[in-house]
Structure 1
Amino acid sequence: MEIALKMSDIKKSFNGVPVLKGINLEIGKGEIHALLGENGAGKSTLMNILGGIHQSDQGSVELFGNKVSIPNPHTSKNLGIGFIHQELNLVSDLTIYENLFLGKESTNALGFLEKKKMVQETSRVLELLDVHLNPKLLISELDVSMKQIVEIARALLQDSKIIIMDEPTTSLTEKEITKLFTVMRNLKESGYSIIFISHKLKEVLSICDRYTVLRDGELASSGDIKAVTEEVLAKYMIGKEMSSTEQYVARELGETLLEVKNLSAQNSFHNIHFSLRKGEILGFTGLSGDGRTELFETIFGFRTRYSGDILLKGEKVKVNHPKEAVSKGIGFVPKNRKENGIVKDLSVLQNMTLSSLKKFTNPLFVNQKKEEQAYQVYQQQLNIKAVDIHSSIANLSGGNQQKVILAKWLEADMEVIILDNPTQGVDIGARNDIYQLMLEYAKKGKSFIILTSDFSEIRRVCDRVFVMYQGEITAELEREEATDEMLMIYATGARMKEVFTK
């Protein structure tokens, strides 16, 4: 196997804390290589060194047998390394070809744009991927998988030979994932190398050739993907056996806290009825575009145009703003945490106490020691990994950011917490931490609503599940009825079960 990339004895510390402790990584030419590890294991730091964002304290990088220095992202791109981030970096109001050539437009001798040439070059690159798209289509007209493919096309246009894909399937449907994997296999056959970062171990086993697992900044294992199972990879990632059994524990439920009657919003959802009891964990599932996110953004006050009734403890309420929802005891962990869940300019600690600031303030100042004491409770319960809680939350891995957001609402003592894709981009160990905490707080009387397309997540924690299709509830199922088969039947609209209003 020809070695495309070799990273040797890579070490990196931040503020004196070791993050990478001598990592070795080899990627073959024409290989799809899985880079695995829990949130905070060092994957992002290692890839940021390869991408020129960080510089290693020690170690070397070789590309196709030649030792290289990567002092900045520009050098990384010029060396043939393409980085496709989890949050796609495309301009929706521009066309495909305009995005591909953004910042490096082709011009003639007089300085005029050579649009025809850029369109032809875009078509050539898309054909390499066996994708048939009109280069003049707006990015806003594409589904998420096609946006991923446009990012790949941009990397190829930059003559990338090694492509880093960070959690590329997080927001994709099964059909879109299949489409993306076809493109990845085409790239592999053409000799391109792909570093595939994912927490979805089934996908890793289906698409990758070899794997490398990092744990706490060290190399935990590497080898041929055919020689391992999901359970073995999970053990390497967390350092112990991970039970795949359900975590669910039956509980005695209390009074009805939240009730929704005949709730509708144009082009989003229709005739929604459901109720939530004290201490209950409800699941809402379906496929992309089913309307569940829009439904609960309405209940939380992000969206204010709707008909029907929302009742809290039997009393009709009208929530016109998230601030009002919080005042009524409703918290919301959004799907897109980087845009809507965290405040990047604030520290880890400030983000956690943001919704409960009154607890930590007097007329003159914020009691930081009291804040730190509160943080320690959730740090232990959720195993939050943060080198410096007074530095920006943007420095944390996505999974640890998610834990801080959940801790924020628990500390704010919300009676109802809505979680939209709560384990998106979260490793297997962190998922179990989140599930366990939810079950513990549900036993104490907290109520949770989980919006998820992961059917296994439903079975791990939910008491009941509502299935949605094209803005309507097609089924209300008790947890014993919620098999993969039944959930998929109702999620695709193949059948509708009578849902009784309560």
Structure 2
Amino acid sequence: MSNDWIVEMKDIEKSFNRIPVLKKVSLQVKKGEIHALLGENGAGKSTLMNILGGVHLADKGFITVDGEKVAITTPKVSQQLGISFIHQELNVVGDLRIYENMFLGSELRNKLGILKVEEMCRQTEDILANLGVRLDPKEYVRNLDTSYKQLIEIARALLHRSRIIIMDEPTTALAEHEVERLFNFMTKLRETGVSIIYISHKLKEIKAICDRYTVLRDGEWVATGSLKETELDQITNMMVGRSVSEERFVQEHSFGDTILEVKDLGCEGEFRDINFGVRKGEIVGFTGLAGDGRTELIETLFGYRRKSTGEIKVNGKQVKINHPKHALKAGLGLVPKDRKENAIIKDLNVIHNLTLSSMSHFEQAGFIQEKREKSRFSYYRDKLNIKLHDPTVSIDKLSGGNQQKVVIAKWLEVGPDVLIFDNPTQGIDVGAKREVYQHIIDLAAEGKAIIILSSEAPEIMKVCHYIHVMYQGEITASINGDKATEDLIMSYATGSKREGGKGGKYRNAATAKQ
């Protein structure tokens, strides 16, 4: 055992229901380093970290902290050893103040049991100041940017004298300026000797902030190395076991009639003069920077918001959509960005999540036909390559990529004419991304009209026939997918360039040239 490691996990093995999930996996983390833990969804990253966090017990192997063997049997033991786990879903209470979140469950009281509010505020201010941030400890957490909410979790970890902080996909919901702020916090922590285990699928961010990496694949250790000495395509290859092409996925084919047409659509204070159309078999993308209005545009299309101007036509007929049920009836389906909040019910099993929006397909004489439900699930499991052993487990047991496939299957069973994907690969790994892209392209080939929203220009360029760029609530450019470049998209997304005409260049999908 080496004294170089603040934490070492050696030859860890773990099985669930006799199915091996980790097979002799090892991880070593140095004091004061940011260590990337990489791998596809289902590679075993979460299980390994849950063992370190005391949620699961390893079947075999051992763990050392500061060179001493330890038995991490509960999360409390893990915390006592100086280990904190900051999950992707932030664990802060919006209706409590900053200092109340910091000391939740460990409040300071005097001999009479009265809360020592000012002392808690002082300690909160001191820890935040060490991270280079000044916030009012009595501010309500709900009023903070997402990055500051993450900071509260980091500060709480430091309050408990954590020396090892595990961060799971910390930048998923952050805007670009918030990512920069988070990285500044992480750099300050590293300088004080705190070690960070950083889990992310965003390899450019990994390269920018991390010192070393460990790659897992199919529950096995693949490699450990220095990020300065390793190219990103090498890491990608190690993660998926093959090279992943950056070329366009989209396949050229003839388009059918216009399915969705939007004219002069506006929503006061959010967006204005939006014009576009989508044809049968066409994939149309929307991209831009945070606050560009594309999310609000789709929320209006799907009935979560009310439009103030304009009209929406589906299959040539004007429709009034003031509620999601109107959108569903009109033939629109939405795969939302935040699947855990808006697309799945985590306590329901996989089959019931899949059939939730199409219960009428499985009802007979007032009873649900479970045999038919299982049959349809088997069909979609094969069609979308959903990887799981037991479809009766709760959906939160699946990896992010497989959860996303279940959400797609749910909408395929509903059978809408138009499918909208809001950041379809958010929080899933490079291998699963490739599968999701291929499924989207296959849907277009089957005649579905597809809309994709993404803040990642390379993703939009990879799969879209046509791309609309938004800036401050307007379409500033409409670009053929095969002519788009990241630089061109960014010039329109930042407002430094714009096409002429009302709401950008209006394109009726029925007449747009490729």
Give the TM bin, normalised by the shorter chain: over 0.9
Equivalence for 1:231: 233
Please say which of residues 413-422 and 303-312 is displaced more in the overlay: 303-312
Contact 1:32/1:194 (<8 A) preserved: yes
Equivalence for 1:79: 81
Identity of aligned residues (%): 52
Equivalence for 2:333: 331
C-alpha separation in 2, matches of 1:232 and 1:319? 48
User: In the TM superposition, what are the counterparts of 1:414-493 in structure 2 within 5 Å?
Assistant: 414-493=416-495
**Residues 190-226 of structure 1, C-alpha deviations (whole Å, 9 max, x = no match):** 1111000011111112211111111111112222222
C-alpha separation in 1, matches of 2:29 and 2:473? 44
Would the alpha carbon gap of residues 305 and 72 (structure 1) be closer, same or farther in structure 2, given more than 3 Å must change? Answer: farther
Equivalence for 1:317: 319
Equivalence for 2:253: 251
User: In the TM superposition, what are the counterparts of 1:339-354 in structure 2 within 5 Å?
Assistant: 339-354=341-356
C-alpha separation in 2, matches of 1:280 and 1:159? 54
Matched to 2:490, the amino acid is: M
Matched to 1:125, the amino acid is: I
Contact 1:382/1:430 (<8 A) preserved: no
**Residues 43-68 of structure 1, C-alpha deviations (whole Å, 9 max, x = no match):** 11111111122222222221111222
TM-aligned CA deviation for residue 306 of structure 1: 3.8
Equivalence for 2:188: 186
C-alpha separation in 2, matches of 1:379 and 1:233? 29
Equivalence for 2:387: 385
TM-aligned CA deviation for residue 418 of structure 1: 0.8
Contact 1:259/1:274 (<8 A) preserved: yes
Matched to 1:311, the amino acid is: K
TM-aligned CA deviation for residue 319 of structure 1: 1.9
TM-aligned CA deviation for residue 481 of structure 1: 4.0
C-alpha separation in 2, matches of 1:77 and 1:361? 49
User: In the TM superposition, what are the counterparts of 1:74-223 in structure 2 within 5 Å?
Assistant: 74-223=76-225
TM-aligned CA deviation for residue 331 of structure 1: 0.9
**Residues 328-358 of structure 1, C-alpha deviations (whole Å, 9 max, x = no match):** 2211111111111101222112212222333
Matched to 1:441, the amino acid is: L
C-alpha separation in 1, matches of 2:116 and 2:377? 56
C-alpha separation in 2, matches of 1:305 and 1:480? 32
C-alpha separation in 2, matches of 1:110 and 1:431? 57
Q: CA RMSD in A?
A: 1.8
Q: Secondary structure at the match of 1:424?
A: coil
2:265 to 263, 266, 269: 263
Matched to 2:187, the amino acid is: R
Contact 2:213/2:226 (<8 A) preserved: yes
Q: Secondary structure at the match of 1:152?
A: helix
Contact 1:40/1:385 (<8 A) preserved: no
Please say which of residues 443-452 and 474-483 is displaced more in the overlay: 474-483
Equivalence for 2:512: none
Please say which of residues 287-296 and 39-48 is displaced more in the overlay: 287-296
**Residues 242-297 of structure 1, C-alpha deviations (whole Å, 9 max, x = no match):** 22222122221111111122222233222222211111111111111222112112
Contact 2:499/2:505 (<8 A) preserved: no
C-alpha separation in 2, matches of 1:134 and 1:387? 49
Whether 2:11 is the aligned partner of 1:5: answer no
C-alpha separation in 2, matches of 1:96 and 1:116? 13
2:62 to 60, 63, 85: 60
Please say which of residues 324-333 and 373-382 is displaced more in the overlay: 373-382
Equivalence for 1:360: 362
TM-aligned CA deviation for residue 496 of structure 1: 2.6
**Residues 58-107 of structure 1, C-alpha deviations (whole Å, 9 max, x = no match):** 22221111222222222222221111111112222333222212222222
C-alpha separation in 2, matches of 1:17 and 1:304? 49
**Residues 383-416 of structure 1, C-alpha deviations (whole Å, 9 max, x = no match):** 3222311110011122211111012112322211
C-alpha separation in 1, matches of 2:112 and 2:418? 62
Q: Secondary structure at the match of 2:364?
A: coil
Equivalence for 1:38: 40
Would the alpha carbon gap of residues 214 and 91 (structure 1) be closer, same or farther in structure 2, given more than 3 Å must change? Answer: same
1:281 to 280, 283, 286: 283
TM-aligned CA deviation for residue 145 of structure 1: 1.9
Matched to 2:263, the amino acid is: K
Contact 1:33/1:195 (<8 A) preserved: yes
* TM superposition score normalised by structure 2: 0.93
C-alpha separation in 2, matches of 1:487 and 1:136? 42
